[in-house]
Amino acid sequence: MTYVPNTNRYDKMKYRRCGDSGLFLPEISLGLWHNFGHVDDYENCREMLKFAFDQGITHFDLANNYGPPPGSAEENFGKILKQDFGGLRDEMVISSKAGYTMWDGPYGDWGSRKYIISSCDQSLKRMGLEYVDIFYTHRPDPETPVEETALALDQLVKQGKALYVGISNYKPQQTEAIEKIFKELRTPFIIHQPRYSMFDRWVEDGLLETLKKLGKGTIVFSPLAQGMLTDRYLDGIPKDSRAARETGHLQQDAVTEEKINQVRKLKILADERGQSIAQMAIAWLLRHEVVTSVLLGASSVRQLQQNLETLENTAFTADELAKIEEILK
């Protein structure tokens, strides 16, 4: 059956300007870090992407090594674009990144010109695209001059392979350093993608202020701390959870009794707000005006729908924020 998008898809979603740029992003974007590789259910991937688009999610975030295996999320996404989203490319913001290990040898990692440009070419081929809307350097490279990485990203824009560029996992000083180069080059650098959640607040140590000062957008990933900011671990570690598998970024020893006790207390407050813990955690991030979008993963349409319901209540009273700080202290 041919996919026909919901004609009311832009009615409920709210969009925020990405820093001082002309680009708007939905308050919730869909990340394809997990659950979109060749090891996953392809039809489930299709249904999640179609549902997301029907709800006004226009931004889809990938990286060269997403899978598993690496590259397969982009391949699946490209296949679904061709299968279901013909004629809709101009209504989508598609991003990809390079900076983590993608292939063997000295040219398949970090931030060299060689790796950045060849990675983008490979990503475009996997997705069947002429360009991405945003291409990121996925992490700072301590061995490569920042000028080299910046010039490589600038070249992608000049070649028409990316409309905008972004950075991810850069600290405040590193952000200012590369922004200065982009400014001289007149490169459309518009966004930073850092990790941020109630349990991981390193961005509050200067980065959010830096991005606001520079007029850059912020899209935050891991908003639920790899699932800890849900009711998933309240009664122990489920056998089918990320922590049980220990193949990803959440290890069992991170699920401490102290963290679980904090989640239990957060649940009481979330219940009072009429939200799940996850919904409250997402809303807590969106309260920042400097946060353009929250990047969510999903394993099912139902999970994505539940998280989208967050947008029905993103306001906090001063008392609620004080209670959250007391719990997290």
Mean of the pLDDT values across residues 182-187? 98
| In-domain check, residue 261 | no
Flag whether pLDDT at 36 surpasses 70.
Answer: yes
Please write the tens of the pLDDT for every residue from 265-282: 999 999 999 999 999 999
Could you give the CA distance from residue 110 to residue 115 in angstroms, rounded to a whole number?
7
Q: Which domain holds residue 107?
A: 22-193
pLDDT the model gives residue 204: 98
Mean of the pLDDT values across residues 223-247? 71
| In-domain check, residue 69 | yes
| In-domain check, residue 263 | no
| In-domain check, residue 139 | yes
241 burial level (CB within 10 Å; 0-12, 13-18, 19+): middle
| In-domain check, residue 125 | yes
At 108, which CATH number? 3.20.20.100
Could you give the CA distance from residue 121 to residue 278 in angstroms, rounded to a whole number?
36
pTM of the shown model: 0.94
| In-domain check, residue 140 | yes
Flag whether pLDDT at 298 surpasses 90.
Answer: yes
Please write the tens of the pLDDT for every residue from 46-55: 999 999 999 9
pLDDT band at 322 (very low <50, low <70, confident <90, very high): very high
Flag whether pLDDT at 287 surpasses 80.
Answer: yes
pLDDT the model gives residue 244: 45
pLDDT the model gives residue 236: 58
pLDDT the model gives residue 273: 97
pLDDT the model gives residue 239: 58
Flag whether pLDDT at 249 surpasses 60.
Answer: no
Q: Which two tokens stand for residue 55?
A: 């709800």
| In-domain check, residue 43 | yes
Please write the tens of the pLDDT for every residue from 168-177: 999 999 999 9
Please give the backbone phi and psi of residue 162, each rounded to the nearest 5 degrees, phi first. -145, 140
pLDDT band at 243 (very low <50, low <70, confident <90, very high): very low
Cβ atoms 214, 176 nearer than 8 A: yes
pLDDT band at 232 (very low <50, low <70, confident <90, very high): confident
Flag whether pLDDT at 284 surpasses 90.
Answer: yes
Instruction: Look at 234 and 68; give whichever has higher pLDDT.
Output: 68
Flag whether pLDDT at 303 surpasses 50.
Answer: yes
The domain total for the chain is 1
pLDDT the model gives residue 168: 98
pLDDT band at 247 (very low <50, low <70, confident <90, very high): low
Ranges 33-37, 127-131, 224-228, 323-327: which has the least confidence: 224-228
Please write the tens of the pLDDT for every residue from 107-164: 999 999 999 999 999 999 999 999 999 999 999 999 999 999 999 999 999 999 999 9
Flag whether pLDDT at 39 surpasses 50.
Answer: yes
pLDDT the model gives residue 95: 99
Mean of the pLDDT values across residues 78-105? 98
Q: How high is the mean pLDDT of the chain?
A: 94
Sign of CA dihedral 5, 282, 311, 261: positive
| In-domain check, residue 50 | yes
Q: What percent of the chain has pLDDT over 70?
A: 94
What are the helix (H) ranges across the chain? Answer: 42-54, 72-84, 113-127, 146-158, 172-185, 207-214, 242-245, 257-273, 277-286, 301-308, 318-328
Could you give the CA distance from residue 172 to residue 190 in angstroms, rounded to a whole number?
15
